[in-house]
């Protein structure tokens, strides 16, 4: 191929950002960018900005929802930074900054008590809910931000209740410790979702750079706000409520923008319900739009996955009957003590896990619709097997064709596995 510039030897590109061509002319190899020179100069600043604050290879190296999520996440971080400034000022005032009668020892003890309760809260929450943060990352991400706003509101009000100041700031510290665990862990789960080239570290590092830039902007605005709100509690509370409203709205839009292709209990339940009702398979984008992002407290029949065998059967004849009801599948489904329990076989595959969860969801929905829950309901277990024997193969093929990742799941399985000894084995 020849032109006025010479013979084209090669063409190379940097992701979708730049394209260059190599020419051979008069025995010399030249490299020129495809596109006008004005465009190249105009994009130089944008290119530097992207290289500093966006992962290498953006946008191909991240998920399609990355930019929208990061924009809303940036907005909420900015609002949270300003709210945090107001809360910090109130805390300092509460421990005696500016009060000649306050002692260093009293302020230090208050601070140490707050830090101590925060550490205990962090350990306790990680123990109780750590295994839920992967499977329900959206819910706990939003919960953490709501709890963070509550904690800061308590810090702002604390100076008005001097007799209860220490208790209030310690409670606030516990809330913030929960925020730290839930926020950090769910951010890691979202990073796993966003990374498309095993570039989790790069995405995490650039997220830190974005947050630092936002905090710097918040610092500049805070320097303007502090003289205005000092000794003005009405203005302090008014600005706090404005920033909190922006913070919560941006957080809601951020988690709503996330489109995860892996199945957790909520997304699988939504997809399964639509399939059983009208035979259609929802895409990840459609199911994520319907997925609840607030922690729910409505009465349902809970599902326990990966339980010990002892939790579902106690006698040999009971085990034999349970195996018969479950058609010798690599899992056992039992309704007992108000729970739908799934005991998973040691050789069960990911497809077996998805099928077991589908049956458990169907049974739970059927029982939730009942007014009274019997202690055991083997008929529903048998009916769920008949239903899935008919539709599961078609359902699984449709789910995979719709773009869902069926090689791994975010179902909340415990670690118990059992070797089921059938008569044939």
Report yes or no on 332 lying in a domain: yes
Residues 218 and 84 in one domain: yes
Structural tokens at position 218: 């918040």
Beta-carbon contacts of residue 276 (< 8 Å; ≥ 6 apart): 362, 391
240 occurs within a structural domain: yes
230 lies in the same domain as 91:
yes
Backbone torsions φ then ψ of 92, nearest 5 degrees: -65, -40
Residues 101 and 215 in one domain: yes
Give the integer Cα–Cα distance in Å for 361 and 370: 14
Q: Are residues 218 and 344 in the same domain?
A: no
Q: How many domains does the chain have?
A: 3
The answer as to whether 50 is a domain residue is no
Q: 272 and 250 share a domain?
A: no
Q: Are 354 and 409 in contact (CB under 8 A)?
A: yes
What is the pTM (predicted TM-score) of this model? 0.85
Same domain, 253 and 269: no
Handedness of CA 102, 105, 110, 111 (dihedral sign): positive
Let me know whether 213 and 318 are in one domain. no
Residue 415 phi/psi, 5-degree rounding, is -95, -5
Range of the domain at 31: 2-42
CATH number reported for the structural domain that contains residue 241 in this entry? 1.20.1250.20
Please check whether residues 141 and 249 belong to one and the same domain.
yes
Asked if 186 and 274 sit in the same domain, the reply is: no
Q: Are residues 97 and 134 in the same domain?
A: yes
- Is residue 420 assigned to a domain? no
Per the CB < 8 A criterion, the answer to whether 258 and 69 are in contact is yes
- 413, β-bridge pairs: 305
Does residue 86 sit in the same domain as residue 221? yes
Digit-by-digit pLDDT tens for the chain (425 residues) are: 555 567 888 888 777 767 888 888 777 888 888 875 545 444 677 778 888 999 998 888 999 999 999 999 999 999 999 999 888 887 776 655 545 555 567 667 877 888 888 899 999 999 999 888 999 999 999 999 999 999 999 988 888 888 888 898 899 999 999 999 999 999 999 999 999 998 999 999 999 999 999 999 999 999 998 888 888 888 989 999 999 999 999 999 999 999 999 999 999 999 999 999 999 999 999 999 999 999 877 778 899 999 999 888 888 877 887 777 777 788 989 888 889 999 998 889 999 999 999 999 999 999 888 755 555 555 888 899 999 999 999 999 999 999 999 999 999 999 999 886 654 44
Distance CA 343, CA 385 (A): 15
Place of tokens 């259609």: 280
- Asked if 338 and 368 touch (Cβ cutoff 8 Å), the reply is no
| The predicted structure's pLDDT at residue 389 | 93
Q: What is the DSSP string of 288-311?
A: HHHS--S--------EEES--GGG
Phi then psi for residue 195, to 5 deg, are: -75, 120
Half-sphere exposure of residue 200: CA atoms within 13 angstroms, side-chain side: 8
**Residue 57 within a domain:** no
Question: How much is the pLDDT for 104?
Answer: 63
Final residue belonging to a domain, choices 227, 257, 287: 257
Show the tokens assigned to 75.
């907005």
Residue 32 contacts residue 4 (beta carbons within 8 Å): no
425: in domain = no
Dist. CA 77–CA 219, nearest whole Å = 12
Last residue of a domain, one of 257, 278, 311: 257
Residue 416 falls inside a structural domain: no
Structure confidence at residue 26 (pLDDT): 75
Indicate whether 269 and 247 sit together in one domain. no
Instruction: Report H helices in 158-301.
Output: 165-194, 200-229, 233-257, 265-278, 284-290
Q: How far apart are CA 77 and CA 215, in angstroms?
A: 8
Got the DSSP string for 336-368? ETTEEEEEEBTT--HHHHHHHHHHHHHHHHHHH
Residue 299 lies in a domain: yes
Report the alpha-carbon distance of residue 304 to residue 339 in Å, rounded: 7
């Amino acid at each position: 191929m020849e032109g006025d510039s010479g013979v084209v030897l090669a063409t190379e590109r940097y992701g979708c950002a730049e394209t260059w061509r190599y020419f051979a002319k008069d025995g010399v190899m030249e490299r020129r960018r495809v596109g006008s020179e004005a465009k190249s100069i105009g994009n130089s600043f944008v290119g530097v900005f992207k290289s500093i604050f966006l992962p290498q290879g953006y946008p191909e190296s991240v998920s399609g929802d990355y930019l929208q999520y990061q924009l809303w996440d940036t907005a909420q971080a900015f609002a949270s930074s300003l709210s945090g400034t107001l809360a910090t000022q109130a805390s300092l005032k509460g421990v005696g900054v500016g009060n000649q009668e306050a002692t260093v020892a009293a302020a230090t003890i208050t601070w140490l008590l707050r830090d101590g309760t925060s550490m205990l809260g962090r350990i306790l929450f990680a123990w109780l809910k750590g295994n839920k943060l992967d499977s329900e990352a959206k819910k706990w991400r939003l919960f953490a931000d709501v709890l963070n706003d509550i904690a800061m509101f308590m810090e702002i009000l604390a100076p008005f209740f001097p007799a209860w100041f220490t208790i209030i700031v310690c409670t606030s510290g516990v809330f913030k410790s929960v925020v730290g665990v839930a926020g950090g862990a769910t951010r890691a789960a979202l990073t796993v979702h966003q990374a498309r080239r095993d570039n989790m570290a790069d995405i995490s590092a650039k997220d830190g750079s974005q947050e630092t830039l936002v905090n710097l902007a918040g610092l500049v605005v805070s320097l303007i706000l502090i003289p205005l709100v000092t000794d003005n509690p009405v203005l302090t509370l008014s600005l706090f409520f404005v920033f909190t409203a922006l913070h919560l709205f941006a957080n809601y839009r951020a988690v709503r923008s996330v489109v995860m292709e892996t199945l957790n209990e909520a997304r699988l339940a939504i997809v399964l319900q639509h399939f059983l009702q009208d035979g259609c398979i929802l895409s990840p984008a459609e199911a994520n739009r319907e997925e609840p992002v607030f922690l729910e407290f409505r009465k349902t029949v809970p599902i326990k996955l990966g339980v010990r065998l002892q939790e579902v059967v106690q006698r040999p004849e009971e085990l034999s009957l349970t195996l018969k009801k479950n058609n010798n599948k690599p899992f056992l489904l039992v309704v007992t003590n108000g729970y739908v329990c799934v005991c998973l076989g040691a050789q069960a595959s990911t497809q077996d896990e998805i099928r077991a969860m589908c049956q458990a969801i169907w049974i739970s929905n059927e029982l939730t619709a009942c007014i009274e829950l019997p202690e055991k309901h083997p008929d529903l277990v048998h009916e769920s097997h008949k239903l899935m024997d008919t539709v599961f193969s078609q359902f699984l093929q449709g789910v995979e064709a719709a773009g869902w990742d069926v090689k791994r799941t975010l179902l909340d399985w415990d670690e118990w596995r059992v070797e089921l000894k059938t008569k044939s084995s």
